[in-house]
Chains A and B, each alone.
Chain A
């Protein structure tokens, strides 16, 4: 089955760190650009970060730049290292696959179920 499964969410204090993972299965991971999108409770979707298939091109939303780091391995995993977490980072974090192979098309055809990150003291 083609799927993305996120993990690593949880409760963290303001200023703390967390590392999210996304495991891909059922398809060849390496040619696809990948993304993180988050959704605060009861709110809309917010793009967080994108990484190209090679990892050479990386993009961040202004709200997380300098605090979050996206990365990937060559096999089947995407990561999001989140530092200096704030209450406003509380959200469900989705891993999403870009539709294009070997180039970024900037829209997403496969999403995981998400992992909840709660930043609270």
Chain B
């Protein structure tokens, strides 16, 4: 089965840039979506189709998927960005939705 690998944690100071990676076999050939989940809340879509932002998501959130690793980048990080972030793809071979293990973003 297809596996997505994320770092368990990323820490960044306020105002700096956070980079969260998502690795998978030939991930560049798939569409990657990213969700934010704050404690006690449901997940929330922040990036879709690798780099598109839903309405209402700040431009500080961006995504890329150039080939071997997809990346969620959060610029000018704020305390309110502290959350778990999950990448997600659809694996056409299995017909299954796959989530990464999640990355906890800590704002120092």
Determine whether A107 belongs to the interface, using a CB cutoff of 8 Å to chain B: yes
Count A-B pairs with CB separation below 8 Å. Answer: 55
Nearest-CB distance from B18 to chain A (Å)? 18
Inter-subunit contact A59/B86 (CB<8 Å): no
Inter-subunit contact A45/B45 (CB<8 Å): no
Inter-subunit contact A45/B35 (CB<8 Å): yes
Determine whether A109 belongs to the interface, using a CB cutoff of 8 Å to chain B: yes
Inter-subunit contact B101/A113 (CB<8 Å): no
- With a cutoff of 8 Å between Cβ atoms, the chain B residues found around residue A44 in the complex are 84, 86, 99-102
Interface range on chain B (Cβ under 8 Å from partner): 20 to 34
Determine whether B80 belongs to the interface, using a CB cutoff of 8 Å to chain A: no
- With a cutoff of 8 Å between Cβ atoms, the chain A residues found around residue B101 in the complex are 44
**Distance in angstroms between the alpha carbons of A25 and B88 in the assembled complex:** 26
Determine whether A52 belongs to the interface, using a CB cutoff of 8 Å to chain B: no
Q: Which of B31, B42, B45 contacts A94 (CB 8 A)?
A: B42
Beyond the given pairs A37-B43, A44-B100, A108-B35, 12 more chain A to chain B contacts, judged by CB atoms under 8 angstroms and listed by A's residue number, are A37-B99, A44-B99, A45-B88, A45-B99, A50-B97, A99-B45, A99-B48, A106-B31, A107-B33, A107-B88, A111-B44, A113-B41
Q: Name B's A-contacting residues (CB within 8 A).
A: 1, 31, 33, 35, 37, 41-45, 48, 54, 84, 86, 88, 90, 95-102
